[in-house]
A and B are shown apart, each in its own frame.
Chain A
């Protein structure tokens, strides 16, 4: 991999990192969806500790990127929203893990 360009302010940008996945709350949501087939809002709130509003906001961004699919149905009169990580989302998380490994592996050992 070619060395990352110097930004001029002393910071080296981290290459190939998907910022949509890199955000901690979204990373938690994606990791929790990665290990199951699908889950509802309540489950994700419990596992991530996010509020309903926060979770909705993050899921909207992930859905817009095609990383998650949201299926809204009714069970009787009650709404049931199930969220699933798409193949694209699964691939994005795999790619993110590999990128982070490369970045962390390249750090010098003290």
Chain B
């Protein structure tokens, strides 16, 4: 039925516009890559702590830039269900990662290199799931860039891998900032007369 399809399209467009038009996901992913690359380059607690920056920027950006311009919306149960699936996948991934880390710390031979491969594969799966849940297929490409750089850094030339990682991160952040610029022009702040 044409009308039903139109309403589905409207819902999809609404969700995509709300989630991706502001470029926040790209900024988040790009920063994640940059700080990850720095973590591979410099082995220090400070750099590890910097991993808080990407989610903080994302949350603050959504709250201070997106919501005042686009308003608030609570999506329907189907979308919320997809979100719950993603959270469950993230929790499962973290648990498996923790188990692997315990095994690596216990010094089981050969596990360290295998552990890296598993982490890389899991990251790619996670990115693909996020792309599906968020209906944002660019995330698969970002995941491939992240995992590609990571794999080169771990198994190939470390310097080339880290440089590729940094470059990819910078490109992704730039894409996000360009989207944000367009978003800010398209949606200036409106002051409601409430």
Residues of A near any B CB (own CB < 8 A):
31-32, 34-47, 52-53, 79-82, 97, 100-101
Give the residues in chain B near A52, CB-CB below 8 Å. Answer: 192-193
Give the residues in chain A near B192, CB-CB below 8 Å. Answer: 41-42, 52
Find out whether the CB atom of A44 lies under 8 angstroms from the CB atom of B71.
yes
Residues of B near any A CB (own CB < 8 A):
1, 3, 7-8, 10-11, 14, 68-77, 187, 190, 192-194
Find out whether the CB atom of A42 lies under 8 angstroms from the CB atom of B10.
no
Find out whether the CB atom of B14 lies under 8 angstroms from the CB atom of A45.
no
Q: Please report the number of residue pairs spanning A and B whose Cβ atoms sit closer than 8 angstroms.
A: 64
A-B contact pairs, 13 of them (CB 8 A): A31-B7, A35-B10, A35-B76, A36-B73, A40-B71, A41-B71, A42-B71, A42-B72, A42-B192, A43-B70, A46-B71, A52-B192, A101-B3
Nearest CB of chain B from residue A103's CB, rounded to whole Å: 13
Q: How far is the CA of A35 from the CA of B190 in the complex (A)?
A: 24
Say which residue of A38, A53, A80 sits within 8 Å of B73 (CB atoms): A38
Q: How far is the CA of A79 from the CA of B192 in the complex (A)?
A: 10
Give the residues in chain A near B10, CB-CB below 8 Å. Answer: 31-32, 35
Nearest CB of chain A from residue B13's CB, rounded to whole Å: 9
Find out whether the CB atom of A47 lies under 8 angstroms from the CB atom of B14.
yes
Find out whether the CB atom of B70 lies under 8 angstroms from the CB atom of A42.
yes
Give the residues in chain B near A32, CB-CB below 8 Å. Answer: 10, 14
Find out whether the CB atom of A41 lies under 8 angstroms from the CB atom of B7.
no
Find out whether the CB atom of B194 lies under 8 angstroms from the CB atom of A38.
no
Q: Given A36-B73, A36-B75, are A41 and B194 neighbors across the interface (CB < 8 Å)?
A: yes
Give the residues in chain B near A47, CB-CB below 8 Å. Answer: 14
Find out whether the CB atom of B76 lies under 8 angstroms from the CB atom of A36.
yes
Give the residues in chain B near A100, CB-CB below 8 Å. Answer: 3
Give the residues in chain B near A40, CB-CB below 8 Å. Answer: 71-73
Find out whether the CB atom of A79 lies under 8 angstroms from the CB atom of B194.
yes
Q: How far is the CA of A34 from the CA of B73 in the complex (A)?
A: 12
Give the residues in chain B near A38, CB-CB below 8 Å. Answer: 73-74
- Shortest beta-carbon contacts, A-B, top 10: A43-B71, A42-B71, A35-B11, A37-B74, A39-B73, A40-B72, A40-B71, A38-B74, A43-B73, A97-B3
Give the residues in chain A near B194, CB-CB below 8 Å. Answer: 41, 79, 81
Find out whether the CB atom of B14 lies under 8 angstroms from the CB atom of A35.
yes
Give the residues in chain B near A81, CB-CB below 8 Å. Answer: 194
Say which residue of B1, B11, B68, B187 sits within 8 Å of A36 (CB atoms): B11
Q: How far is the CA of A37 from the CA of B14 in the complex (A)?
A: 12
Of all chain A residues, the one with the shortest Cβ separation from B75 is: A36
Give the residues in chain A near B73, CB-CB below 8 Å. Answer: 36, 38-40, 43
Find out whether the CB atom of B7 lies under 8 angstroms from the CB atom of A80.
no
Give the residues in chain A near B193, CB-CB below 8 Å. Answer: 52-53
Find out whether the CB atom of B14 lies under 8 angstroms from the CB atom of A82.
no
Say which residue of A31, A34, A39, A53 sits within 8 Å of B72 (CB atoms): A39
